[in-house]
Amino acid sequence: MRIALLGLGLIGGSIAKALREDPAGVGPFDPTGVEIAAWTPSSAGPRAALEAGAVDHVARTIAEAVDGAALVVICAPPIAATSILDELVICRRSGRLAEGAVITDVLSTKRWIMAEAAKRTLRFCGGHPMAGKHETGFAAAEASLFVGRPWVVVPDHHGASSAAALVERLASSCGAKPIMMDADLHDAATAAVSHLPLLLSAALVSAVSQGEQGSAVDGWRVSHLLASSGWNSATRLARGSDEM
């Protein structure tokens, strides 16, 4: 089976490595073998992954990546997701994307991306692995990143159950625990347990770095001398990728 990864940073790279290494010992994603094609705008991540043996093919275009793929995983930042969906529509019209191919994603909000995919009548099943770290890029990818972690699967209400089953299989093959969930319920839950902590972390960094209102002293210039483990823990999320 051919899998196309559109984006190969921390999450996409970790998926590729997990499919190769089977860190949880659950067995292969496909007993007949898996061929992984990867695309990014710069091709830097895929080239490094090819050298590491994590992928089989570095695609120069999205069309080249999805050609013959049974599963397409969008691992790009949200800001790029709409243009990728548009490219997939073009690929379907040209025959490069098979009519039966399943498209999924790893974005942290689901209602929006599900609606955009539905507008384009793509065979889409949302996904969100609840795992990560503040480092970014393929160099930070780990085969064990998803082991034991929840991986939310959000089926299209009008889609075939086989699409959701394939995404569940992907999650399980990466060592994660697939959880079927409605898009609205997912977004409300992640807002509380993921997005709000990120905002609080960023607000803390902003408040301390600016110092007290009206003060002539640069707050961080003084505070960094005292910052220790508590500061590191509280601000870890703020050190992540702005795009993601």
What residues make up the domain containing 37?
Answer: 2-181
Structural domain total, the chain: 2
Do 230 and 130 share a structural domain?
no
Pseudo-torsion of CA 73, 190, 49, 93, nearest 10°?
A: 20
Number of H helices, E strands in the chain: 10, 8
Q: What is the pTM of this model?
A: 0.82
Do 234 and 141 share a structural domain?
no
Beta strand segments in 147-239, E? 150-155, 177-180
Rounded mean pLDDT for each run of 10 residues along the chain, 244 residues in total = 96 97 90 93 88 95 98 94 97 96 95 95 96 88 97 83 94 97 86 65 72 58 72 66 54
Determine the Cα–Cα distance for residues 4 and 21; give it in Å rounded to an integer: 17
- 244, part of any domain: no
Residue 86: C-alpha distances to residues 120, 153, 212 (Å): 8, 22, 47
Do 225 and 162 share a structural domain?
no
